[in-house]
Amino acid sequence: MSHVIEHRPENNRFEILVDGQVAAYAEYTEHGGIRDFDHTVTEPAFRGQGLAGALVRAALDTTRAEGLRIRTSCSYVDAYVVKHPEYQDLVA
């Protein structure tokens, strides 16, 4: 199974594609240098494979590289940041 993670700023979301199909996505809104991750979805056929974690890690790394901070309105992203303290510095 090959996957690709893409940032789709025109849709305010990050997507992970498996064999060309969207398997999961993390949506956000952005205001004043803060990217608020408010919704993460993994399609049922792709759950339990660690894809959401890989997606959120890439989204947070990209956000850091862009010099933005985060808000974690999405419970999955919030739990991910709690579990991975290396991202605590991004929280606005």
* pLDDT (tens digit per residue) in 44-69: 999 999 999 999 999 999 999 999 99
Residue 80 class from Cβ within 10 Å (0-12 exposed, 13-18 middle, 19+ buried)? buried
SS3 49: coil
Domain of 23? 3-90
Question: What tens digit of pLDDT does each residue of 18-33 get?
Answer: 999 999 999 999 999 9
pLDDT number for residue 31: 96
- Give the separation between CA 50 and CA 54, rounded to whole angstroms: 6
Using pLDDT thresholds of 50, 70 and 90, give the confidence band for residue 2.
Answer: confident
Angle at 21 between CA 35 and CA 29, to 5 degrees: 15
Domain total of the chain? 1
More confident residue, 2 or 17: 17
Which residues neighbour 33 within 8 Å (Cβ) at sequence distance 6 or greater? 67, 68, 69
Domain CATH number, residue 65: 3.40.630.30
pLDDT of residue 1: 66
